[in-house]
């Protein structure tokens, strides 16, 4: 296994995406979209290969890639249907391997753990508590609705009074790479979430198979 001896110890703020980066929620996310497809569309379910191809941000664009026509369907109704399945099944999820050890070591190094997500903040707090990792985070930054427009604005607000060289972002999607680039900070992508390694390598950032490959 290749280990990045990245100088995280010099980073004051280590920013984590949530879905797919901290929590392994790929399976229930695919289940939820397939149940939503079955209710609203005349097409077959997504397999994992197609899911990787169509998943993107903003979330509405992802649904359109799947085949949802929001000139005909109500976007808010469709999004709520997906969310209802996700929320009712999220306790089946676990944190990704290596995350807890990394969070603890990062605190021991004197750094802050931050969550930056396109999920609702209330849902984030609840799920972090359910996963048993809420206490490891110094700040939780989420949205105020379930429709996941963008987390970039919140990210820019977070770093406006900080040295960008003191910040790094961990994510699992090209959107995380785009957010990091717009924020002007470094990024490491983990190929354990909602986009595959081949896709993530297009970002130009480092890509690892597990956060355990990154040493503090």
pLDDT in tens, 73-103: 999 999 999 999 999 999 999 999 999 999 9
Q: What is the CATH number of the domain that holds 193?
A: 3.40.50.1000
Tell me, yes or no, whether 1 lies in a domain.
no
Q: Are 77 and 144 in a shared domain?
A: no
Q: Are 87 and 175 in a shared domain?
A: no
Tell me, yes or no, whether 85 lies in a domain.
yes
pLDDT in tens, 147-197: 545 689 899 999 999 999 999 999 999 999 999 999 999 999 999 999 999
| Number of structural domains the chain divides into | 2
Q: Are 98 and 189 in a shared domain?
A: yes
In this predicted structure, what is the pLDDT of residue 163?
94
Tell me, yes or no, whether 187 lies in a domain.
yes
Q: Are 132 and 56 in a shared domain?
A: no
Q: Are 36 and 112 in a shared domain?
A: no
In this predicted structure, what is the pLDDT of residue 41?
98
Q: Among residues 92, 125, 143, which one ends one of the domains?
A: 92
pLDDT in tens, 46-78: 999 999 999 998 899 999 999 999 999 999 999
Cβ atoms 2, 102 nearer than 8 A: no
**DSSP string covering 169-208, please?**
EEESSHHHHHHHHHHT-EEEEETTSSS-HHHHGGGSSEEE
Tell me, yes or no, whether 2 lies in a domain.
no
Q: Are 61 and 100 in a shared domain?
A: no
Q: Are 88 and 98 in a shared domain?
A: no
Tell me, yes or no, whether 3 lies in a domain.
no
Query: Across the strands, what pairs with 215?
Result: none
Q: Are 53 and 152 in a shared domain?
A: no
Structural domain that includes position 17? 8-24+94-213
Q: Are 152 and 176 in a shared domain?
A: yes
Q: Among residues 67, 92, 117, which one ends one of the domains?
A: 92
CB-based burial, 119-153: b 16+ in 10 Å, e otherwise: bbeebbeebbeebebeebbeebbbbeebebebbbe
Q: Are 209 and 173 in a shared domain?
A: yes
Q: Are 181 and 130 in a shared domain?
A: yes
Q: Are 67 and 87 in a shared domain?
A: yes
Q: Among residues 76, 92, 108, which one ends one of the domains?
A: 92
């Amino acid at each position: 296994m290749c280990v990045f001896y990245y100088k995280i110890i010099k980073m004051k703020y280590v920013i984590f995406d949530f879905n797919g980066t901290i929590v392994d929620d790929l399976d229930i996310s695919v289940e939820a979209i397939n149940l939503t497809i079955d209710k609203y569309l005349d097409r077959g379910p997504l397999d994992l290969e197609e899911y990787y191809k169509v998943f993107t941000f903003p979330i509405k664009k992802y649904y359109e890639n799947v085949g949802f026509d929001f000139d005909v369907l109500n976007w808010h109704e469709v999004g709520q249907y997906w969310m209802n399945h996700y929320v009712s099944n999220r306790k089946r999820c676990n944190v990704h391997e290596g995350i807890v050890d990394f969070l603890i070591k990062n605190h021991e190094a004197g750094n802050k753990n931050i969550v930056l997500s396109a999920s609702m903040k209330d849902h984030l707090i609840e799920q972090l508590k359910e996963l048993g990792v809420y206490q490891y985070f110094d700040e939780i930054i989420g949205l105020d609705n379930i429709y996941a427009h963008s987390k970039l604005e919140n990210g820019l607000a977070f770093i406006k009074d900080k040295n960008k060289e003191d910040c790094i972002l961990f994510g699992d999607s090209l959107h995380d790479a785009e957010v990091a680039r717009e924020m002007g900070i470094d990024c490491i992508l983990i190929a354990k979430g909602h986009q595959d390694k081949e896709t993530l390598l297009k970002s130009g950032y480092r890509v690892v198979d597990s956060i355990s490959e990154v040493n503090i």
